[in-house]
Amino acid sequence: MKTQLALAASFAALLAARAALPCGAPFGTGINVNPQQDIIVAYKGGVETYVFQPTFCGTATDFGLILPVPSTLAQPPALSDQQAFTTVDSLSQPEYVTVTYCQSHTLSTGSQGPGQTGGSGNGATVVATGRVGFLDWVQLKADTDTSFTDWLTSNGYPYSTAASSVFSYYVQKGWYFVAFKISQAATPGGGSVCNALGPVALSFASPVPVVPSRMATAAASSTAAYGFSWRIFAITTGDQQLAFTDGANSNRVLGYSGALAGADVSSLPALAQAGDRLTKLTLTFSYGSTDPDVGLSLASAVDYRETQNVIKYVPCSSACSLAKASSSGSRFALVLFGLAMVGVLIHRRRRG
């Protein structure tokens, strides 16, 4: 009962949080959001479709997020199908191998990775607006950090000073920003909201595949000592796969690469067709990082599936008994073999 009351109190406090920091990843001021994300990146012919689905809780008048993109949107943001994430996750599951150990042994677990293989406001120009699901959205371009933060302040997007350097990073790169905010028409009278965003799909031109991972580390957090991960499910033409520019390591892991069959793409409309390739990459990083966006590239297609060990312990006495039984059986077999050989020799001598 006490546990239920504590959970209820925590949930009520979460709903009452005032200012949700606008961001392209799950972080915020006075808001508790799971930073883990799954993202689908379909990249073909220099055009990327970026599908994401973070969940936020906050006050309707303050709730929002910002996603940086390298160019103007090819088409308005659109709702995508949740089944797409279920499909790519199912197809890219690791191969699990059971490994048995004596219970007294010390074992470090882990996975086996691959080998080296329109208008303007305060100096920020609004280029497009619209609504997707329960969110209004605006795409804008800012030439200076100040013009962008001034626009956020004037339009009711509260932000943390911790995000200023990250905003500057994308302004200096010449990127655009897509700002999402809860539609007041969708939530008349305001109030607190807990809802999932989309999934929402954005399409834009880009010379290379991009994931704006720097934005995820903008907010200060009490969990800064802990890392969190994004899983990137990439869809490319069949002869290519998404790869890390600097190669895989402990924080950048290739988990899967394989061709998509006709039955696989039925739940991936507008994202894939038969013969395309699905790749799963896992990116792990920590809050407060000043690293640039993760470098992504296209590499030659090579089938791969991660292998993970499933550990099974047995009592050491049982393991030893099995070993003794096996040893005794071997000795008995040798005795029988020796007797048989003696019988053969005796038979040969009699014949001689």
| Helix runs in 47-135, H state only | 83-91
Paired residues of 98 in beta bridges: 310
Residue 69 confidence (pLDDT): 96
* pLDDT over threshold 60, residue 168: yes
Contacts of 201 (CB under 8 A, 6+ apart): 49, 50, 51, 77, 78, 79, 80, 270
Strands 37-44 and 227-236: parallel
pLDDT at 104 over 90: no
- Whether the pLDDT of residue 24 is over 80: the answer is no
pLDDT tens digits, one per residue of 201-251: 999 999 999 999 888 766 544 444 456 789 999 999 999 999 999 888 888
The CA distance from 346 to 352, in Å, is 10
Q: What is the pLDDT of the chain when averaged over all its residues?
A: 76
pLDDT in tens, 120-155: 444 799 999 999 988 889 999 999 999 998 998 888
